[in-house]
Amino acid sequence: VQLQAFAGGLVQAGGSLRLSCTAYGNIFTLNTMSWYRQAPGKQRELVASITSGGGTNYADSVKGRSTISRDSTKKTVTLQMNSLKSEDTALYYCHAVVIIRGSFDEIPYWGRGTLVTVSS
């Protein structure tokens, strides 16, 4: 199973960015899908998550200006972030809990980080 993230980049403060991540591989079920981020010198933190049933959870720092969504058919999770701030600058990681075909175990997978830089 691989998670491939798209569309990090350089954005001006106050702007918007959409991150997408698609899961590939021998997947039976995609459970919770999430975005995490890690800023320089800081621990990795949860930004937002969405369950297979569509329930969402957001970090307080992004609540009200971010929306996470998923397309289960396309095995994709998307994070729309608005009103970006310099403190949103970080490596953003896609995460998914997967049940692979032929197994009953839930296995967490990480994508490679995609860099988001917000310039002030």
pLDDT tens track for 91-114: 999 999 999 988 899 999 999 999
User: pLDDT tens digit string along 23-54?
Assistant: 999 999 999 999 999 999 999 999 999 999 99
Q: Mapping DSSP to helix (H, G, I), strand (E, B) and coil, where does residue 50 land? A: strand
Report whether pLDDT(7) > 80: no
Question: Of 116, 11, 16, which Cα lies nearest the Cα of 65?
Answer: 16
